[in-house]
Every structure is written in C-alpha cells, then in structure tokens.
Chains A and B, each alone.
Chain A
Amino acid sequence: MMKRSNTMIMLTVLLVSLLAACGQREPADQLEAIKQKGVIQVGTSADYPPFESVDSAGNLVGFDVDLMNEVARRMGVTVDWVDMPFDSLIAAVQEGKLDMAISAFNYSDERAQRIDFTEAYYTSEDSFMVLESFAGQINQPEEIANYLVGVQTGTTQDEWLTGLIDEGILPEANLSRYDRVDQAALDLRAGRIEVLMSDYVPAQELMKTMGGMKIVYVGVLSSGPMNMVVPKGSATLTAALNDVIRQLESEGFIDQLAIQHMGE
C-alpha cells in the first residue's frame, strides 16, 4: 500500500525537521553500525494481513515479516521488530529512530523526498471491493466517483482518490478515510460506504475472513512495486538489502513466500 502521511504528522515532521536541522546526526556508515550490533531495528505496521499482522498468540507473521527475517539472516543480523502505526513509520525512519521499515510500502515521489527506497520485492495491484449485493457497475476506475468510497488514510490509494477530488470528479463528502483497512471493511459491511479501495492482496484476505464481499475491479492505479524503506543517504545499507533481495528473487524464495502467504 503506498501511503501518504496524513497532514497532522506531515506538519509535525516539518516542525521537527526544522528543530532537528541544528543538531544533525553524524552520518556514520549505517550498515557497519548495524553489523556491529548484530541487530537491525525494523519498523512495521502489523495490521495489514497477509503482509504483516499478529496471530492470536501475538506473534508477528506475514509475507513482509518472513521476507525480512530471511534478508536479515543472510546479512548476518537478527531483526528487532518495532510495531508502529503506518503513519508514524516514515517519520521514524526519516528521524533515524528505526534502521529501516518494511510495511508494504509502494514507491511515491512524495515519499522519496524524505526517505530512500530499496529495489522492489513485490508488485501490488489496486482493487475495488463491494458487498455481494452491490447492484452498481464500475467499468472505468473513475466511475468509483459515483459511489460512497472508503480508503485507508495515507495510502497511495488515498492519494489517488484525493486526486479525483482535486479534479472535481469525486465529491469530498463521498470519501471516508480510515486508520486501518479492516475498519473500512467493517464500514463496508455496515453499509456506510459502498466501495472500498485498497491493495488487491489484503482485499482478498478480508474477503476470505469476513465473507459476503466481492471484488469488482483490479488494476494498477496507484500501487505497483513494493519496496523497503531506509533513511535518506544510507547507500551501503540499501546496496546490501538490494543484493539480498536480488538473491532471494533468483532463488525463487520470494515467489514461494507469495504462494505461502497469498495463495498465488
């Protein structure tokens, strides 16, 4: 899910970067520091199955989680997982509170100004989910504007829908934004929204666990390649991660994970 931080946090980050500008951290080689500690601190927002979530025993599970654990193992370090709301992740990486983050991040230019992306490890699509009883029709993606739409705040889907609002296609009052995609799905079931726009894979997962819903549109509108997120200018870390991502890709490890977690 490509996400855009919400206004409040953007404002805060702006303020903070102003304040932090005077006391800049020394840009020591991040990769060396991580290897010396033997631990890499990785942020994720564990509310997005099947990419990252907790099982009922509280264990962190999911595609991103397995992938990152394997990547770290090959780099000779262990992962110290930190769960944070999605909105906080980019700010935390930007401020060096985390070594990196993996949370189904899609590339966006806006984000790229604040943090660096690794190479893609997965490609995601957008989907429109409706109740099974949905009687309307959506042939062109823009036709979503004819319905009450729900989306998760700060995602690239949110960005895309906000674009529709700016172009005057979608009335602002028809868009509901949610902290998490599962809240949006609950409101879809309750009939407060008619269409839920989200990443395709989590939508499938929601369909499975909640039932009574169907997907009426799949395509790349706002999402696309998924990347890990690292602080700006951490070239050695990015290079090391890219190496392992390429390795895992050519070994078929990532495809296997996708099958395991997403049934693809």
Chain B
Amino acid sequence: LTFIQYIASGTATTIAVTLIALPLGLVLGVLTALLHVYGGKLPARLVYIYSTMMRGVPPIVLLFILYFVMSGAINLSPFLAGSLSLGIISSAYQLEIFRGALQSVSGGQMMAARAIGMSRIKAIRHIVLPQALRLAIPGWSNEAAIVVKDSSLVYALGVTEILRRAQLLSASTQQPFLAYGTAAVIYFLLVFITNRLLDLLERRTRIPANP
C-alpha cells in the first residue's frame, strides 16, 4: 500500500505542472492566434514560424534546450523551468486550435460588427472571440489531456512525478504491472476529470440558438 501511496504522491507534482503549463499555453496560444488571424502579414508569418518550430521538435529536446538556456540567464528550479517549457510547447498547439476556431467564425460577423460602428479590436473582443473560444473547447480538451500526460516529461530534469516514481518502483521491486498500472489509473482519472469539467464548461457556455 505504501507502494501505491509513493506513486500517488507524485500526483500533486503532475497537477501543479499542468496548472502552470496549460494556462500559460492558453494565454500565449490565444494571443498568437489573434496575431496570426488579425495581425497582418508579418506577424502572421512570425507566428507561423514559431508554431512550426515548436511543433516540429520533440518536446523532450525542447525541454532540455529551454531548461538549460532559461536557467543560464535566470536561475529557475527544474520544476518551474519544466512547467514553463511545457507551457511554451503547448502554446504552439493551442495556437492552432484557436486559429482554427477564430477562422471558423464566419466573416459576416466581423463585417456586421464593423457596420454597426464597432472598432476592429472591439469587434474581435466582443463578437468574434467569445464565439471562437466556445468553438475551441473540444479541440482544447484534447490538448489538455495531452498536457496532463506530457507533464511526465519533467522527470528528465529531475522532477519526480507519477511516471518517474512508477519507474523507480518498477526497477526496485520488479513489479512493473502494479507500478505502471497505478500510474495509468491516476493519469486516467486526471484526464477523465479534466475532460468532464471541460464538457461541463462547453454545455454551460453554449449559445442557446446554436445547435
């Protein structure tokens, strides 16, 4: 039982990493998506390069680069550096989710808003973005699940979370099924709860007229 407890005590770390990475990715993702869709040619180009690079490199490699580079300039703990890095990586994926959502709000909405005298920024903030964010929830819940599971990558920097704990016990006790099974159940519960919460959010925020 202490066996399971030991693995489960990594849950707090996993949740903490996710709670830093996911919101950071959300903020960066929405901002870069807005830049991409409404920012004009040059910003769109830059955002495109950012997204391609971040998504093209394996997360573990990015994690190492960001960790060693960031902490060369400022002394960050492995935990913080790992979480921030995962947030930056996630932002590239979230950017594409929000870009898709922004672009699927029909262009007529923007035109109508402008026609009744709203400024461009006002129209984005009050008309387009609220609809886009709703549309983004299903795709975003995918990304949330991935970030929960990717949070295990911080183990490479020396942060002992669920998966690393399972590995260590599997190595010392030779009971891989119990160790990884425990980890699997915890991850499943985390992702399950996250997705249920997002489902709830999706239902709560649904615009009644829309199917």
Where the two chains meet, the residues of A that have a C-beta atom closer than 8 Å to any C-beta of B are: 8-9, 11-13, 15-16, 19-20, 23, 43, 46-49, 53-58, 82-85, 87-88, 91-92, 95, 97, 180-183, 185-186, 206, 209-210
Q: Which of A8, A82, A83, A88 contacts B168 (CB 8 A)?
A: A83
Q: Which of B3, B72, B167, B172 contacts A23 (CB 8 A)?
A: B72
Q: A9, B64: Cβ atoms under 8 Å?
A: yes
Q: B61, A12: Cβ atoms under 8 Å?
A: yes
Where the two chains meet, the residues of B that have a C-beta atom closer than 8 Å to any C-beta of A are: 2-3, 5-6, 9, 58, 60-61, 64-65, 68-69, 71-73, 78, 155-158, 160, 164-165, 167-174, 176
What residues of chain B lie closer than 8 Å to A11, measured between beta carbons?
61
Q: What 10 pairs between A and B have smallest CB-CB spacing?
A: A47-B171, A53-B172, A58-B6, A84-B158, A16-B68, A12-B64, A182-B171, A56-B3, A82-B158, A54-B168
Knowing A12-B61, A56-B2, the reply to whether A85 touches B155 (Cβ < 8 A) is: yes
Q: Which of A47, A49, A84 contacts B156 (CB 8 A)?
A: A84
Q: A85, B156: Cβ atoms under 8 Å?
A: yes
13 new A-B pairs (CB below 8 Å) besides A49-B171, A54-B165, A88-B157? Answer: A9-B64, A16-B69, A20-B72, A57-B2, A58-B6, A83-B164, A84-B156, A84-B158, A87-B156, A95-B68, A185-B174, A209-B173, A209-B174
Q: B174, A182: Cβ atoms under 8 Å?
A: yes
Q: Chain B binding site: helix, strand, loop or mixed by DSSP?
A: helix
**A244 CA to B156 CA, complexed, in Å:** 30
Closest-by-CB residue of A relative to B60 is: A8
Q: B156 to nearest A CB, angstroms?
A: 5
Q: Which of A8, A91, A92, A180 contacts B61 (CB 8 A)?
A: A8
**A91 CA to B64 CA, complexed, in Å:** 10
Knowing A20-B69, A20-B72, the reply to whether A56 touches B6 (Cβ < 8 A) is: yes
Q: B169, A180: Cβ atoms under 8 Å?
A: no
What are 13 sample pairs from A and B whose C-beta atoms fall under 8 A apart? Answer: A9-B64, A16-B64, A19-B72, A47-B172, A54-B168, A54-B169, A82-B158, A87-B156, A92-B157, A95-B71, A183-B176, A186-B176, A206-B174
Knowing A43-B158, A56-B3, the reply to whether A97 touches B174 (Cβ < 8 A) is: no
What residues of chain B lie closer than 8 Å to A82, measured between beta carbons?
78, 158
Q: B171, A92: Cβ atoms under 8 Å?
A: no
Knowing A20-B72, A58-B165, the reply to whether A53 touches B158 (Cβ < 8 A) is: no
Q: A84 to nearest B CB, angstroms?
A: 4
Q: Which residue, of A56, A84, A88, A95, has the highest number of chain B Cβ atoms within 10 A?
A: A56
Q: Which of B2, B72, B171 contacts A58 (CB 8 A)?
A: B2
Q: A92, B158: Cβ atoms under 8 Å?
A: yes
Closest-by-CB residue of B relative to A85 is: B156
What residues of chain B lie closer than 8 Å to A48, measured between beta carbons?
171
Q: A23, B168: Cβ atoms under 8 Å?
A: no
**A180 CA to B167 CA, complexed, in Å:** 9
Closest-by-CB residue of B relative to A24 is: B72
Q: B64, A58: Cβ atoms under 8 Å?
A: no
